[in-house]
Structures are given as C-alpha cells and as structure tokens.
C-alpha cells in the first residue's frame, strides 16, 4: 500500500519541469514576444506531395504563442527515451523495441530533413529565419518539454522525470535521485505551508 505522503511522479514531474525552467538557461530565450507555434505538428497535420514536399499545414486549433522550445518530435515518433536506451535498442536486433525504435529514428531523420529543405527554400527566397526548427527539435529543452508533456499519459512517468533531469543537468543516476529527493522535500515544504494558511 502506498504511503499517504507519497508524491506521484506526475506531480514530481511538474515541479521538476518548473525547477528546470527557473534554474537553467535552457528555456531562457530572452524574447519579448514569442512566435506562433502550431503545437500539434504531427504527420497527420502536414500535407505533402508524392515526394514529401510540404504543401500545407492544417489543424491550427491548438496554436499559441510560446517559446520555440515547446516544439518537439510528435507522436508516433517522439524523442523521450535517453540516448543510451535508444542506442541499446538500435544495436541489439533481438531487443523487443529494436524495430520500433529503428523506424522512429528513420522517421525523425526524414522529418528533420524535410524541415531543413523548407528552411533552405525560405532562405533562398530572400526571407530570414530567426531560429531553426530542426535545431530546436534536437535540443535538450525540446526533449525535456516532450517528456514533460507525456507525463501522466502512461505508466512510464518515473523514466520521463528522470530523463528530464538528466537532459537538463547531465546528472548520473545517483545524482538524479538526490536531485529528485530535493524536489520532493520542496513539495512537502510547500504543502506544509499551504496547510498552515
């Protein structure tokens, strides 16, 4: 039976994400205004021709202004596993996730390449690009946000929270545990303060 004062990884993930935003420069964009982000830029919303050239982007109902770092690889090929875990699956053909991870990696490469092609066409037309979408997708901040967004949608919350910490700070497993213990202590402190008010 779980302890009554146990903190769920979903809650721990939210506090961890806020700590990463405040304590690192990963999300410190120094922007005075944010770009319009689609927020659901999966393959289902990108219309292409037979050569995979972009024709249109549809379904803008979730669009919002936000830091570029909230953009990340969409389902069904998110980048939420650690590089070590991905490499383990890729290098072992008998690994249960080998086929799926291989397909995800290949799909992410096509996705990146097509956005690079689109950016090149924009630049060739004389327009300036302030930030590179493909570069953002491969950034630690983008991967952290992708992990954060997936928390609560599966039973892998603990792995997602740990991956966020490791991406943000480069900690090993032991130091990650220490860091998360510190975040738990902060949550308990905040809960104690709220009960008194």
- Per-residue pLDDT tens for 17-58? 999 999 999 987 677 778 888 888 888 999 989 988 889 999
- Per-residue pLDDT tens for 143-160? 999 999 999 887 789 999
Q: Per-residue confidence at 195, pLDDT binned at 50, 70, 90?
A: low
pLDDT at 6: 63
Do 162 and 14 touch, CB atoms closer than 8 A? no
Do 165 and 179 touch, CB atoms closer than 8 A? yes
pLDDT at 163: 95
Q: Check whether the bond before 101 is cis (ω within 30° of 0).
A: no
Residues whose CB falls within 8 Å of the CB of residue 102, separated by 6 or more in sequence, listed in order: 89, 90
Do 111 and 77 touch, CB atoms closer than 8 A? yes
The pLDDT of 91-109, averaged and rounded, is 95
Residues whose CB falls within 8 Å of the CB of residue 104, separated by 6 or more in sequence, listed in order: 76, 77, 78
**Does the pLDDT value for residue 4 go beyond 50?**
no
The DSSP bridge partners found for residue 35 are 66
List the single range of 59-68, 103-112, 126-135, 188-197 with lowest mean pLDDT: 188-197
Q: Tell me which residue has tokens 């596993």.
A: 81
CB environment 158-176: b (16+ within 10 A), e (fewer): ebbbbbbbbbbeebeeeeb
The pLDDT of 109-135, averaged and rounded, is 92
Closest C-alpha to 154, from 70, 80, 44, 96: 80
Closest C-alpha to 29, from 162, 182, 39, 37: 37
Q: Tell me which residue has tokens 């590179």.
A: 132
**Does the pLDDT value for residue 1 go beyond 50?**
no
| Helix, strand, or coil (residue 66) | strand
pLDDT at 76: 85
Percent of all residues in the chain with a pLDDT value above 90, rounded to a whole number:
58
Q: Tell me which residue has tokens 């990463």.
A: 20
Residues whose CB falls within 8 Å of the CB of residue 184, separated by 6 or more in sequence, listed in order: 7, 12
Q: Tell me which residue has tokens 């037309």.
A: 125
What CA–CA distance (Å, rounded) separates 152 from 163? 15
């Amino acid at each position: 039976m779980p302890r009554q004062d146990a903190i769920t990884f979903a809650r721990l993930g939210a506090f961890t994400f806020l700590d990463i935003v405040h304590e690192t420069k990963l999300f410190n964009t120094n922007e005075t205004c944010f770009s319009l982000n689609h927020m659901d830029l999966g393959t289902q919303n990108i219309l292409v021709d037979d050569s995979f050239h972009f024709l249109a982007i549809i379904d803008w109902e979730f669009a919002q202004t936000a830091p570029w770092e909230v953009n990340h690889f969409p389902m069904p090929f998110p980048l939420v596993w650690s590089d070590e875990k991905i490499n383990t699956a890729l290098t072992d053909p008998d690994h249960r996730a080998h086929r799926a991870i291989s397909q995800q990696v290949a799909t992410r490469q096509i996705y990146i390449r097509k956005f690079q092609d689109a950016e090149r066409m924009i630049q060739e037309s004389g327009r300036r690009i302030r930030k590179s979408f493909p570069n953002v997708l491969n950034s630690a901040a983008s991967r952290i946000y992708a992990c954060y967004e997936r928390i609560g949608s599966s039973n892998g919350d603990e792995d997602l929270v740990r991956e966020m910490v490791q991406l943000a700070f480069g900690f090993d497993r032991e130091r990650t545990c220490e860091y998360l213990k510190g975040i738990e202590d902060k949550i308990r402190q905040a809960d104690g303060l709220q009960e008194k008010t």
